[in-house]
Chains A and B, each alone.
Chain A
């Protein structure tokens, strides 16, 4: 009852967002709209740090659709000078910047019910969720896939941490615009396609396999 009441008070964009989840999901790798995204942040603390920018691009039927991309830069109150060097995003740049509320609203509008993909997805999802919490909104409802975990489903991959640079090297992906949200999202999108293609060569890949967070025994 309380939940229902609160639901009524959600802003329109969130209501629209929720509606998209009422539509039956295709549950096939080919038909699903995947959104590969990356956030650049002021730091690694999901509570204290803030999002500097979000970059995202969609994959449908194994094709990266440049027209279906998203790129936004956020105005900063919290500003951590240490990370500026990595991202090159200064507090007052020339790029048009949006408040956190607006940026998240646009991002949610863009996402709809897509399946999210990110490298070390847990962190990026947590950063978005933290922003949603500050807006008095619930967490993201989208399913998500971690390319780091997906990679470990390949034959003979052990260990726990695979950074994006190492995987770019292994999969022969040129590192353009590394450490910009859009650049990393694009690289991650290629990485996702390459891992899936390699997985498919090794065995039959089912839609549900993508979401198993356990190790490679998860795949039959």
Chain B
């Protein structure tokens, strides 16, 4: 019989995770058994410590605030709006409510029986994964759970299902593979390969691929004299071959090759080894498909004779980045490659500039990348932050030396600007006389920043401490680093100031409709992912590493890895920070590529529910690392 009301509820639920991945029948069963609850403003839906209801809730209209009461304080933990689920965890885990739910506005809720859901969880793996992922944002110590790393991954998997298939290119492969049969001699096979100028030959039987010989086999097994060239190919072929269907995407192909540690995949009609061969895909094909191979780019770069070529290579790098992001390649790998290219570009710009100078540099110098480039975390084109250090000189030579390096720096920054790295609006560049200094001057500058901490000097420290030598003499930089640690040691309270700075930006609570909810309850329609999420993690890592005298590593992820070695007791927390950082960095990069900007400000209107959920998951570790700093440096007394 017709059920108009259930159909209407069905229509509402079907747009929200996890209901969007249920079958029609499952969802209709849920819709037809919904209980509709009306709650007036300020009415409590459930109380902390209460035994769980038989239902969990999804907000149809209005807004429900989740509060945790500790002693007498009631802290807003989250606000749920249209489509948000709440009150589910206690039902599944047979636990009391950990929070109270109260209507922040007049609301209409759909209450859904947990019994129906339990049946569905058992039959639908994706739903249970979603639920685990959503729990991770509001359980007390999520990283105490061993599966924490997977929680994010699950959201990823979920997202993958929603992604438009056109995002994944189908991999290209050669459709006329060179073949022979197993009775062919090795010599013949090698001749066939040579005349066709290919690096591999497939051995087929009844059109099915049974083995493969590559250049490598000839090198390892023939050229070494292990097997005679008159033997048959089946003596040296690798068998069986790894087969895939022609529907494989580039990223899947890459994964398959990595997994099996091979460089060639056979394409067969149905993807199994027992069907007709239709092509072969090599690692090289994938590289070509990605259009721009980083090693090719760096080679091109080294040959570059003018700035236009460098500019072109930078643009190609952006395309490479886009491809990597779409292929969901690990962000560490991506940031390494992009940093390598950025460094290579900078070095080239420096070399070209030195050639333009009338004389060679009068003394040794070093070119320092600062900020995100110094941390090797710069993925998108952002502005340049750099500095120059030159060898100490006698007073009488100082002026000419400094003038030389300033005019060199001007040429370099100008070139970098042409390449695509815009000038730093705050003029934190080597062309600024304030940041083109001798070793002693830098030592004094850092010492001053450390021993006379002010808001401004602390900010300078956060930028300049992440310096990385891109070009020039390493010894000069080592001298500065040594001096910095000496200064910090003599003035340890500096770390507390740095700590206070790291806590200036607490992460947001979560999302509410198209708004971001700040800790103080304020709503913003834009999310500054840099200052509100990435910087707190970066600042915390820097501070903790400085406190352990670690200066060799600037990269935030590597800093946390080092910290895990030194403080194994905080391993879970640091791991969760790494996860969060990766997610946020990828997110920022994706947003930047999408909107062709720095990706710093995220317009919340454009975020999907699962994107918000993913971001929210990353806020928790930020909050926890800030708490650790707060306790360790006794910061609550300083604030």
**A in complex with B:** yes
B6 lies within 8 A of A180 (CB):
no
Scan B89-114; emit 1 where CB is below 8 A from any A CB, else 0: 00000000000000000101001000
Which residues 39-70 of A have a CB within 8 angstroms of B? 55, 57, 62-67, 69
Q: Which of B5, B31, B106, B111 contacts A63 (CB 8 A)?
A: B111
Q: Mark A190-218, 1 if CB is under 8 A from B, else 0.
A: 10011001100100000000000000000
B38 in contact with A197 (CB, 8 Å): yes
Q: Which of chain A's residues 178-197 have a Cβ closer than 8 Å to chain B? A: 180, 182-183, 185-186, 189-190, 193-194, 197
Residue-wise, chain B 211-246 has the 8 Å CB interface mask toward A (1 for contact) of 000000000000000000000000000000000000
- Are B106 and A190 within 8 A (Cβ)? no
Q: Across the interface, do A63 and B35 meet the contact criterion of CB distance under 8 Å?
A: yes
Count how many pairs of residues, one from A and one from B, have CB atoms less than 8 Å apart in the complex: 68
CA distance A189 to B106 in the complex (A): 16
Contact across chains for A190 and B4 when beta carbons are under 8 A apart: no
Q: Tell me, in angstroms, the Cα distance from A183 to B1 when the chains sit together.
A: 15
A176 at the interface (CB under 8 A from B): yes
Partner of A186, one of B5, B106, B111: B5
> How far, in angstroms, from A176 to B514 measured CA to CA in the complex?
24
| A220 beta carbon closer than 8 Å to chain B | no
The answer on a CB contact under 8 Å between B5 and A66 is yes
- The residues of A that contact B6 with a CB separation of less than 8 Å are 66, 69
- Contact mask for chain B residues 1-19; partner A; CB cutoff 8 A; 1 contact, 0 none: 1111110110000000000
A182 touches B36 (CB 8 A): no
| B residues near A193, Cβ cutoff 8 Å | 38
Chain A positions within 8 Å of B480 at CB level: none
Establish whether residues B4 and A183, one from each chain, have CB atoms under 8 Å apart when the complex forms: yes
Chain A interface: which size bin? 20 to 34
Q: Which residue of A is nearest B4, CB measured?
A: A182
CA distance A5 to B34 in the complex (A): 44
Which residues of chain A have C-beta atoms less than 8 A from B5's C-beta? 55, 57, 66, 69, 71, 182-183, 185-186
Asked if B40 and A197 sit within 8 Å, CB to CB, the answer is yes
A174 within 8 A of B: yes
Interface of A, secondary structure class, is: mixed
B35 to chain A: which residues have CB within 8 Å?
Answer: 63-67
What is the CA–CA distance of A72 and B3 in the complex, to the nearest angstrom? 9
Interface contact A177-B9, CB-CB below 8 Å: no
Counting chain A CB atoms within 10 Å of each CB, which of B5, B6, B34, B36 scores highest?
B5
A182 to B2 Cα, complex, angstroms: 10
Residues from chain A with Cβ under 8 Å of B32 in the complex: 66-67
Cβ–Cβ contact A66 & B1, under 8 A: no
Q: For the complex, is B37 an interface residue (Cβ under 8 Å from A)?
A: yes
CB within 8 Å for A176 and B2 given contacts A66-B33, A66-B35, A197-B38: no
Q: Give min CB distance, B12 to chain A, whole Å.
A: 9
Q: Determine whether A1 belongs to the interface, using a CB cutoff of 8 Å to chain B.
A: no
Q: Looking at the complex, which one of A55, A174, A189 makes contact with B61 (CB distance below 8 Å)?
A: A174
Q: What is the minimal beta-carbon distance from A192 to any residue of chain B, in angstroms?
A: 9
Q: Does A86 contact B (CB under 8 A)?
A: no
> Are A177 and B8 within 8 A (Cβ)?
yes
Hey, which chain B residues are within 8 Å of A185, CB to CB? 5
Bound form: Cα–Cα A177–B1 in Å: 17
* A186 contact set on B, CB distance < 8 A: 5, 8
Give the interface centre of A64, A176, A197 by most chain B CB atoms within 10 Å. Answer: A64
A77 is an interface residue with CB less than 8 A from chain B: no
Indicate if the CB atoms of A69 and B3 lie closer than 8 Å.
Answer: yes
**Residues of A with C-beta under 8 A to B9:** 66
Q: How far is the CB of B38 from chain A (nearest CB, A)?
A: 4
List A contacts of B36 (CB < 8 A): 63-66, 189-190
Answer whether residue A172 sits at the interface, using C-beta atoms and an 8 A cutoff. yes
Residues of B within 8 A of A190 (CB): 36, 38, 108
Instruction: Verify A172–B2 contact, CB threshold 8 A.
Output: no
- Per-residue CB contact flags for chain B residues 30-51 toward chain A (1 = under 8 Å, else 0) read 0111111110100000000000
Separation in Å of the B630 CB from the closest CB of chain A? 42
Cβ contact of B38, chosen from A55, A66, A72, A194, cutoff 8 A:
A194
Contacts of B111 in A (CB 8 A): 63
A69 vs B3: C-alpha distance when bound (angstroms): 8
**Cα distance A185–B5 in the bound complex, in angstroms:** 9
**A residues within 8 A CB of B37?**
62-64
Residues of B within 8 Å of A34, CB to CB, are: none
- B4 and A55 form a contact (CB under 8 A): yes
A166 CB-CB contact with B under 8 Å: no
Chain B residue, CB-CB nearest to A56: B5
Say whether A73 contacts B2, CB under 8 Å.
yes
B34 contact set on A, CB distance < 8 A: 66-67
> How many whole Å from A170's CB to the nearest CB in chain B?
13
| A92 contacts partner chain B, Cβ-Cβ < 8 Å | no
The answer to whether A72 and B1 touch across the interface, beta carbons within 8 angstroms, is yes
Give the residue name and chain of the B residue nearest to A177 (CB).
B4
Complex: A198 Cα to B9 Cα, angstroms: 25
How far is it, in angstroms, between the C-alpha of A65 and the C-alpha of B106 when the chains are bound? 19
In whole angstroms, what is the CA distance A172 to B31 when docked? Answer: 23
Residue of A nearest to B111 (CB): A63
Q: In the docked arrangement, what's the CA distance between A197 and B62, Å? A: 16
Interface centre among B31, B32, B36, B40 (most CB of A within 10 A): B36
Neighbouring A residues of B1 by C-beta, 8 Å: 71-72, 96
Closest-by-CB residue of A relative to B108 is: A190
Whole-angstrom distance between the alpha carbons of A180 and B8 in the complex? 12
Closest A-chain residue to B30, C-beta based?
A66
Q: Can you name 26 A-B residue pairings with CB atoms under 8 Å?
A: A57-B5, A62-B37, A63-B36, A64-B35, A64-B36, A65-B35, A65-B36, A66-B31, A66-B36, A67-B33, A69-B5, A71-B1, A71-B3, A71-B4, A72-B1, A96-B1, A177-B4, A177-B8, A182-B3, A183-B4, A183-B8, A186-B5, A190-B38, A190-B108, A194-B106, A201-B40
The 6 closest A-B pairs by CB, nearest first: A64-B36, A182-B4, A193-B38, A66-B34, A197-B40, A67-B33
Query: Told that A71-B2, A190-B38 touch, could you supply 19 new A-B pairs with CB distance under 8 A?
Result: A55-B5, A57-B5, A63-B35, A64-B37, A65-B35, A66-B9, A66-B32, A66-B33, A66-B34, A71-B4, A72-B1, A95-B2, A180-B4, A182-B3, A183-B4, A183-B8, A186-B8, A190-B108, A198-B40
